[in-house]
Amino acid sequence: MALSLRYVLIASLVFGAGALSRALAADPPSRPDFAPDSRTGWLAQDDEFIPPTSGPGPIRSDPAHPYISFYKNPRNLHPSFRIADLSNPILLPWTREALRKANERAESGKVASIPKERCWPVGVPAFLLLPATPVYFIQTPKEVLMIWMQDHQVRHVYLDVPHSPDLKPSWSGESVGRYEGDALVVDTVGISTRTFVDNYLTPHTDQLHVTERFHVVDDHKTLEVNIHVEDPGAFATPWNAIQRYRRVQQGPMMEVVCAENNGDMFNQGLDPMPEASKPDF
């Protein structure tokens, strides 16, 4: 009886170890594939961030002046300019004042353009707020590229490397990344202060540090990005946000030139188109 029980225990241990070994070796989390073919792109569902379920979140519209976008307008209401909610507790006094001035222009009746509408690079994390045309991915062993079709703005994410020791600011900053299970984790610093955090024209300092997690959900129909933003020079606390993209099959990527027929037709005093006579950085 004791001998039989011992055999049962040994057999259970052997079987259990084998099952565990097979489970570990069977299907490790696969690297996300954002570009299974040349036709696959990802279309942003809106041009403002989704707040997190709890905790500090992104700038949203003033409740008294709800923002109605061109891109997410189910009731066909007249689109409106953005009026930022200045009561958001993430704002430091100087960032709140900068947004108050932006609000004044939006409320004045003048056209309140945002950088992408005047063909300027938008920076990070505002790159996630580019709607109208898809973002396409190119994934290589050493680099991931994200290309917004409408103006061919490109982000480079260098894989499995540290940040540069002597980093100079640039429009999109320096992004380094790594795969964690089914997510691409991107860490970005060195973002030019000539960019804004969002389409409300929220400013930032050279301390801006953005972490993004890109992962595919909803049976590969949706790309979700979880964003974490830190900038002690501009914000009272770190904050989080979400962006979601819808998978579209309309590729290959087309040529779209933002600067074509994009002048200040009605003398609204729009920001000038970008023009460089020397390197920016």
pLDDT in tens, 172-220: 999 999 999 999 999 999 999 999 999 999 999 999 999 999 999 999 9
Say if strands 143-148 and 239-249 run parallel, antiparallel, or are unpaired.
unpaired
pLDDT in tens, 40-93: 999 999 899 999 999 999 999 999 988 877 666 655 655 677 899 999 999 999
Domain boundaries, the chain: 40-249
Amino acid at 84: A
Query: Minimal CA–CA distance to 245: which of 136, 153, 120?
Result: 136
Q: How confident is the model at residue 260 (pLDDT cuts 50, 70, 90)?
A: confident
Q: What is the spatial distance between Cα 232 and Cα 206, in angstroms, rounded to a whole number? A: 10
Average pLDDT for residues 245-269, to the nearest whole number? 76
What are the C-alpha distances in Å from 35 to residues 94, 145, 218, 220?
41, 11, 16, 11
